[in-house]
Amino acid sequence: MTNLRHFTPTRHGGLGVQILGERAQKDFATSTKVTSKLTEAIKEQSLIAQDICHESVREAKVCKETEFRSNRDGLMREVTPPVKRVLEIISEKGASSWLNALPLKAQGFALNKTEFTDALNLRYFRELRGLRSDCPCGQKFTVTHALNCKRGGFVHMRHDSIRDLLAKLLSRVQNDVETEPQLLPTPEETASENTADGARLDIRARGFWRNGQHAFFDVRVFNPLSATSLKSSLKLCYSNQEREKKRAYNNRVMQNEGGTFTPLVFTVFGTASRECSNFLKTLSMKLDTKTEDKIKLRFVGLDVNYHF
């Protein structure tokens, strides 16, 4: 686990800190192999096609990537299910972007020593120091319990923080944005699970997907390390969370409001489901064309990561 954390790139669950003593021989052999044909051409004063050099570099990258994946997969077969799930999550695209980001205070990306240490411990499913032994609800206080327990309002604060961030970003590219819009009363024949009067979704933005059409969004943050989630694959967990939201609101929004509904499903680690990732990508593209500072998708994703 230690070698994986230090040397493996962040995209494979590591920290990207190379141990030069362990890599020197392998990297030297790779460098020699990649440049061998170019070296021969220089000695013989002959021409060599650039494609040959590029192909050698590509082969070396593939071999290195295969080695990283093999090391990670081998480790995942040896660890406990919660740790395996953590490694799976932090290997997702964008999950480790906060580790590679510059600590820009203007963007809110600067962490102090305690925050950074706690973030690393949470990243590798290690208990935090100084935690109390028992929760006010009566259960044993652990990291997993803290992510699930609704006592004290932290679960709601986590949800509201992401909702407010996304609404703020949406307001920069759309003129008509509203948080917690109340849905119209629904007739009895509407095929939705949630038909209660006064039901609300998290965000409404006019013209996000199509000009003049209302786009409704609802945020859900779930813990993939809970006992229920560990029984299913991570991909299935995302799908189940999206389907549950759509069963409750999709038909109601389409039939009553004439709009679209998109569930925005996040894990507590800041990773996103397929539909949510598409939303973030589209939002980033709109921000890129609307603003002068050229905000890219990685900054939108980083904002979400740091809010977690």
List per-block mean pLDDT (blocks of 10 residues) for the chain, which spans 308 residues. 61 77 80 80 72 77 82 78 85 81 79 87 82 84 84 86 92 92 78 75 94 94 89 92 92 90 92 92 85 49 55
Q: Give me the residue label for tokens 């609101």.
A: 249
Helix axes 297-307, 154-171, angle to 10 degrees: 160
CB 214 within 8 A of CB 204: yes
Q: Is 152 left (phi over 0), alpha (psi -120 to 50) or beta?
A: left
Distance (Å, rounded) from C-alpha 183 to C-alpha 180? 9
Beta carbons of 223 and 191 less than 8 angstroms apart? no
Residues forming beta bridges with residue 265, ordered by sequence position = 220
CA atoms 101, 103, 105, 110: torsion sign: positive
- Tell me the one-letter amino acid at 104: L
Whole-number Å distance between alpha carbons of 59 and 54? 9
Question: Using alpha carbons only, what angle is made at residue 223 by residues 222 and 224, rounded to the nearest 5 degrees?
Answer: 110
In the prediction, which pLDDT does 273 show?
92
Instruction: Quote the CA–CA distance of 188 and 288 in Å, as a whole number.
Output: 43
Report if pTM > 0.85: no
In eight-state DSSP terms, residue 124 is: T
CB 247 within 8 A of CB 192: yes
Which pLDDT belongs to residue 177? 95
What pLDDT, on a 0 to 100 scale, did the predictor assign at position 293?
47
Q: Where does residue 260 rank: exposed (0-12), middle (13-18), buried (19+ CB within 10 A)?
A: middle
14, 50, 67, 75, 275 from 64: Cα distances, Å: 15, 21, 5, 17, 31
The half-sphere exposure of 212 on its side-chain side, counting CA atoms within 13 A, is: 0
Q: State the alpha helices, DSSP H only, in the chain.
A: 2-7, 20-44, 50-76, 81-90, 97-100, 113-123, 143-148, 154-171, 234-252, 274-290, 297-307
Does residue 131 sit in helix, strand or coil? coil
CA distances from 89 to 98, 124, 217, 306 (A): 14, 10, 24, 16
